[in-house]
Chain A
Amino acid sequence: MPLNRTTSGDRWRVRPDGPDKVTGRLPYLTDLSLPGMLHGRVLRSPYPHARIVSIRTEKAKAIPGVCAVLTSADVPGLNRFGIARPDQPVFCEDRVRFIGDAVAAVAAETEALAAYALTQIEVDYEPLPVVDDPESALSPDSVKLFEHGNVLHRSDYGCGDVEAGFAACRHIVEETYSTPRQMHTYMETEGGLFVPEPNGRLTVYAPTQHGFMDRMQLARILNRPEADIRVVSSPIGGSFGGKDELNVQPYGALLALACGRPVKLHNSRWESVRAGLKRHPMKITMKTGTDEHGRLLAHQVRIVSDAGPYSTLSAEVLNFAVEHVIGPYRFGAVKVESVSVFTNNGMSGEFRGFGGNQAIFALEGQMDRLAEKLGIDPWTFRLMNMRQPGDPGPLGQPIAQTDGARQVWEALADCRLWKEKAAAGNRSETRPPWIKTGYGAALVMHGAGLGVGIPDPAGGRLTLAGDGKIEAAFGYEEFGQGLIASLEQMLIEQFGFDAQDLRIVIGDTDAVPDSGSSTASRATSMMWQALKRLHPPFATALRKQASRALGVGMEKLVLGRGGIRDAESGSLLISYGELAKTASEPIVAETKFAYPTSPVDRVGAHYLYTYASVAVKVEVNTLTGRVKLLDQFHAVAAGPVVNPQGYLGQIEGGSGMALGFALTEDAVMDKGMYLTRNLDTYLIPTIAELSGGFEVLPIEELPEGDKHGPRGVGEIGSVGLAPAIAAAVHDAVGKRVNKLPIDPALLLEKPVFLNKAVEWR
Chain B
Amino acid sequence: MIDPKLASAAETFTLQCVINKRPVSVDVPPAKRLLCILREDLHLTGTKRSCDIGRCGACMVLVDGKPVNSCLTMAYQCQGKNITTIEGLAADGALNRVQKCFLEEGGYQCGYCTPGMIVTVTALLNKNPEPSMAEIEEALSGNLCRCTGYGGIIRSVLKAAEQGGRRHAGRHESA
A, B co-complexed: yes
Interface residues of A (CB under 8 A from B): 5, 12, 14-15, 17-28, 30-31, 33, 63, 65, 110, 112-113, 115-116, 119, 184-189, 235-238, 240, 266, 268-269, 417, 420, 479-482, 617, 630-631, 645, 648-649, 652-657, 659, 678-680, 684-688, 690-694
- In the assembled complex, the CB of A667 is this many whole angstroms from the nearest CB of chain B, namely 14
Segment of B11-19, B73-81, B137-145 in the binding face? B137-145
CA of A330 to CA of B7 in the docked complex: distance in angstroms?
67
Could you say which residues of chain A place their CB within 8 Å of the CB of B152? 645, 648-649, 652
Could you say which residues of chain B place their CB within 8 Å of the CB of A482? 109
- In the assembled complex, the CB of B71 is this many whole angstroms from the nearest CB of chain A, namely 11
- When A26-B111, A269-B51, A649-B147 are in contact, do A5 and B105 touch as well, CB less than 8 Å? yes
Report whether B102 and A65 are in contact in the complex, using a CB–CB cutoff of 8 Å: no
Closest A residue, CB atoms, query B100: A22
Report whether A686 and B144 are in contact in the complex, using a CB–CB cutoff of 8 Å: yes
Report if B165 contacts A (CB, 8 A): no
- When A5-B155, A420-B174 are in contact, do A687 and B140 touch as well, CB less than 8 Å? yes
Could you say which residues of chain B place their CB within 8 Å of the CB of A186? 110, 112, 146
Contacts beyond the supplied A480-B111, A692-B174: 15 A-B pairs with Cβ under 8 Å: A5-B155, A19-B103, A23-B95, A24-B86, A188-B112, A237-B111, A649-B106, A652-B149, A679-B50, A685-B150, A687-B143, A687-B150, A688-B138, A690-B149, A691-B150
- In the assembled complex, the CB of A38 is this many whole angstroms from the nearest CB of chain B, namely 14
Could you say which residues of chain A place their CB within 8 Å of the CB of B172? 630, 691-693
Instruction: Give the contacting residue for A31; candidates B1, B39, B104; CB below 8 A.
Output: B39
Could you say which residues of chain A place their CB within 8 Å of the CB of B147? 187, 238, 480, 649, 653
- In the assembled complex, the CB of B127 is this many whole angstroms from the nearest CB of chain A, namely 17
- When A24-B47, A63-B4, A691-B171 are in contact, do A653 and B109 touch as well, CB less than 8 Å? yes
The winner among B133, B145, B153 for most chain A CB atoms within 10 A is B145
Closest B residue, CB atoms, query A431: B175
- When A23-B90, A687-B143 are in contact, do A15 and B106 touch as well, CB less than 8 Å? yes
Could you say which residues of chain B place their CB within 8 Å of the CB of A691? 133, 136-137, 150, 154, 171-172
Could you say which residues of chain A place their CB within 8 Å of the CB of B144? 187, 679, 684, 686
Report whether A188 and B50 are in contact in the complex, using a CB–CB cutoff of 8 Å: yes
Report whether A28 and B7 are in contact in the complex, using a CB–CB cutoff of 8 Å: no
CA of A240 to CA of B110 in the docked complex: distance in angstroms?
11
Instruction: Give the contacting residue for B174; candidates A5, A617, A684; CB below 8 A.
Output: A617
Contact residues of B between 118 and 135, Cβ < 8 Å to A? 118, 133
Could you say which residues of chain A place their CB within 8 Å of the CB of B85? 24
- When A116-B1, A235-B111 are in contact, do A688 and B141 touch as well, CB less than 8 Å? yes
Could you say which residues of chain B place their CB within 8 Å of the CB of A119? 1
Instruction: Give the contacting residue for A65; candidates B4, B89, B133; CB below 8 A.
Output: B4
CA of A631 to CA of B55 in the docked complex: distance in angstroms?
26
Report whether B148 and A21 are in contact in the complex, using a CB–CB cutoff of 8 Å: no
Number of interface residues of B (CB under 8 A): 65
Report whether B46 and A630 are in contact in the complex, using a CB–CB cutoff of 8 Å: no
Closest A residue, CB atoms, query B87: A24
Report whether A679 and B55 are in contact in the complex, using a CB–CB cutoff of 8 Å: yes
Interface residues of B (CB under 8 A from A): 1-4, 7, 39-40, 43-53, 55-56, 58, 85-87, 89-90, 95, 99, 102-106, 108-115, 118, 133, 136-138, 140-141, 143-155, 171-174
Report whether A479 and B173 are in contact in the complex, using a CB–CB cutoff of 8 Å: no
The winner among A23, A31, A685 for most chain B CB atoms within 10 A is A23
Could you say which residues of chain B place their CB within 8 Å of the CB of A24? 44-47, 85-87, 114-115
Could you say which residues of chain A place their CB within 8 Å of the CB of B45? 24, 27-28, 31
7 closest cross-chain pairs (CB), A and B: A24-B46, A656-B149, A480-B110, A237-B112, A21-B111, A24-B86, A480-B109
Instruction: Give the contacting residue for A687; candidates B1, B95, B111, B137; CB below 8 A.
Output: B137
Report whether A678 and B53 are in contact in the complex, using a CB–CB cutoff of 8 Å: yes
Report whether B146 and A187 are in contact in the complex, using a CB–CB cutoff of 8 Å: yes
Could you say which residues of chain B place their CB within 8 Å of the CB of A116? 1-4, 7
Report whether B103 and A14 are in contact in the complex, using a CB–CB cutoff of 8 Å: yes
**Does more than half of chain B's interface fall in helix, strand or loop, or is it mixed?**
loop
The winner among B39, B48, B113, B149 for most chain A CB atoms within 10 A is B149
Closest A residue, CB atoms, query B54: A680
Closest B residue, CB atoms, query A21: B111
- In the assembled complex, the CB of A694 is this many whole angstroms from the nearest CB of chain B, namely 6
Closest B residue, CB atoms, query A191: B49
CA of A680 to CA of B142 in the docked complex: distance in angstroms?
11
CA of A577 to CA of B89 in the docked complex: distance in angstroms?
36
Report whether B146 and A115 are in contact in the complex, using a CB–CB cutoff of 8 Å: no
CA of A377 to CA of B122 in the docked complex: distance in angstroms?
48
Report whether B171 and A479 are in contact in the complex, using a CB–CB cutoff of 8 Å: no
CA of A312 to CA of B146 in the docked complex: distance in angstroms?
23
Report whether A238 and B110 are in contact in the complex, using a CB–CB cutoff of 8 Å: yes
Closest A residue, CB atoms, query B89: A23
Report whether B2 and A269 are in contact in the complex, using a CB–CB cutoff of 8 Å: no
Could you say which residues of chain B place their CB within 8 Å of the CB of A28? 45, 48, 112
CA of A685 to CA of B146 in the docked complex: distance in angstroms?
8
Report whether A23 and B105 are in contact in the complex, using a CB–CB cutoff of 8 Å: no
Report whether B106 and A679 are in contact in the complex, using a CB–CB cutoff of 8 Å: no
| A to B CB contacts below 8 Å, 13 in the list | A5-B106, A24-B45, A24-B87, A24-B114, A63-B4, A112-B7, A116-B4, A116-B7, A235-B111, A631-B174, A648-B106, A690-B151, A691-B137
CA of A20 to CA of B85 in the docked complex: distance in angstroms?
15
- When A269-B52, A679-B55, A687-B136 are in contact, do A18 and B149 touch as well, CB less than 8 Å? no
Closest B residue, CB atoms, query A631: B174
Could you say which residues of chain B place their CB within 8 Å of the CB of A17? 111
Instruction: Give the contacting residue for B151; candidates A235, A238, A652; CB below 8 A.
Output: A652
Could you say which residues of chain A place their CB within 8 Å of the CB of B114? 21-22, 24
- In the assembled complex, the CB of A595 is this many whole angstroms from the nearest CB of chain B, namely 24
- When A187-B146, A688-B137 are in contact, do A23 and B112 touch as well, CB less than 8 Å? no
- In the assembled complex, the CB of A658 is this many whole angstroms from the nearest CB of chain B, namely 9
Report whether B150 and A690 are in contact in the complex, using a CB–CB cutoff of 8 Å: yes
- In the assembled complex, the CB of A722 is this many whole angstroms from the nearest CB of chain B, namely 14
CA of A25 to CA of B118 in the docked complex: distance in angstroms?
13
Report whether A185 and B105 are in contact in the complex, using a CB–CB cutoff of 8 Å: no
- In the assembled complex, the CB of A504 is this many whole angstroms from the nearest CB of chain B, namely 16
Instruction: Give the contacting residue for B146; candidates A185, A630, A631, A688; CB below 8 A.
Output: A185
Could you say which residues of chain B place their CB within 8 Å of the CB of A19? 95, 103
Could you say which residues of chain B place their CB within 8 Å of the CB of A653? 109, 146-149, 151
Could you say which residues of chain A place their CB within 8 Å of the CB of B115? 24
Could you say which residues of chain B place their CB within 8 Å of the CB of A30? 49
Report whether A23 and B146 are in contact in the complex, using a CB–CB cutoff of 8 Å: no
- In the assembled complex, the CB of B159 is this many whole angstroms from the nearest CB of chain A, namely 9
CA of A21 to CA of B99 in the docked complex: distance in angstroms?
9
- In the assembled complex, the CB of A645 is this many whole angstroms from the nearest CB of chain B, namely 4
Instruction: Give the contacting residue for B153; candidates A20, A617, A687; CB below 8 A.
Output: A687
Instruction: Give the contacting residue for A656; candidates B48, B108, B150; CB below 8 A.
Output: B150
- In the assembled complex, the CB of B91 is this many whole angstroms from the nearest CB of chain A, namely 11
Instruction: Give the contacting residue for B171; candidates A269, A678, A693; CB below 8 A.
Output: A693
Could you say which residues of chain A place their CB within 8 Å of the CB of B137? 686-688, 691
CA of A12 to CA of B85 in the docked complex: distance in angstroms?
29
The winner among A20, A31, A631, A654 for most chain B CB atoms within 10 A is A31
Report whether B99 and A693 are in contact in the complex, using a CB–CB cutoff of 8 Å: no
CA of A680 to CA of B71 in the docked complex: distance in angstroms?
14
Could you say which residues of chain B place their CB within 8 Å of the CB of A645? 106, 152
Report whether A22 and B113 are in contact in the complex, using a CB–CB cutoff of 8 Å: no
Closest A residue, CB atoms, query B154: A691
Could you say which residues of chain A place their CB within 8 Å of the CB of B44? 24
CA of A184 to CA of B87 in the docked complex: distance in angstroms?
28
Report whether A189 and B39 are in contact in the complex, using a CB–CB cutoff of 8 Å: no
Closest A residue, CB atoms, query B46: A24
Could you say which residues of chain B place their CB within 8 Å of the CB of A685? 149-150
CA of A242 to CA of B147 in the docked complex: distance in angstroms?
13
Report whether A657 and B146 are in contact in the complex, using a CB–CB cutoff of 8 Å: yes
